Amino acid sequence: MKTPKRIQPLVEEGLIDEVMRQLMSGKEATVYVVRSGDDIRCAKVYKEANERSFHQAVAYQEGRRVKNSRQARAMEKGTRYGRKMAEQVWQNAEVDALYRLAAAGVRVPRPYICHEGVLLMELVTGADGNAAPRLNDVELDRERALAYHAALLREVVLMLCAGVIHGDLSEYNILVDAHGPVIIDLPQAVDAAGSSVAASMLERDVTNLANFFGAFAPELQGSRYGAEIWMLYEAGLLTPDTPLTGVVAAPEGPADVGAVIHEIALARFEEEERERHQLAAQGWA
Ligand SMILES: Nc1ncnc2c1ncn2[C@@H]1O[C@H](COP(=O)(O)OP(=O)(O)OP(=O)(O)O)[C@@H](O)[C@H]1O
Ligand SMILES: [Mg+2]
Q: Closest Cα to residue 7, out of 49, 26, 35?
A: 35
What pLDDT is attached to residue 67?
A: 57
The preferred substitution site among 6, 23, 128 for testing ligand 1, maximizing ligand atoms within 8 Å of CB, is 23
Task: Report how many domains make up the chain.
Answer: 1
Domain containing 159 equals: 5-281
Distance 190 CA to ligand 2 centre (A): 16
Q: Which ligand 1 atom sits nearest the alpha carbon of residue 121?
A: 1
What pLDDT is attached to residue 275?
A: 80
DSSP string, 188-251: T-EETTT-TTHHHHHHHHHHHHHHHHHTTSGGGTT--HHHHHHHHHHTT---TT----S--PPP
Closest residue to atom 17 of ligand 1, CA basis: 185
What pLDDT is attached to residue 149?
A: 98
32-62 core/surface letters (b: 16 or more CB in 10 A; e: else):
bbbebeeebbbbbbbbeeeebbebbeebbeb
What pLDDT is attached to residue 58?
A: 47
pLDDT tens readout for residues 31-85: 999 999 999 999 999 987 655 554 455 455 555 555 566 666 666 666 776 666 6
Amino acid letter for position 108: V
Say yes or no: CB of residue 40 within 6 Å of ligand 1. no
> For 131, which DSSP code?
B
pTM, two decimals, is: 0.81
The Cα–Cα gap between 86 and 92 comes to 10
The preferred substitution site among 22, 44, 134 for testing ligand 1, maximizing ligand atoms within 8 Å of CB, is 44
What pLDDT is attached to residue 54?
A: 45
Q: Please name which ligand lies nearest the alpha carbon of 46.
A: 1
| Residue ranges of the chain whose pLDDT lies below 70 | 49-78, 81-86, 90, 251-255, 283-285
Q: Closest Cα to residue 97, out of 110, 85, 84, 83?
A: 110
Domain with 78 in it: what CATH number?
1.10.510
- Percent of the chain past pLDDT 90, that is, above it, reads 64
What pLDDT is attached to residue 267?
A: 79
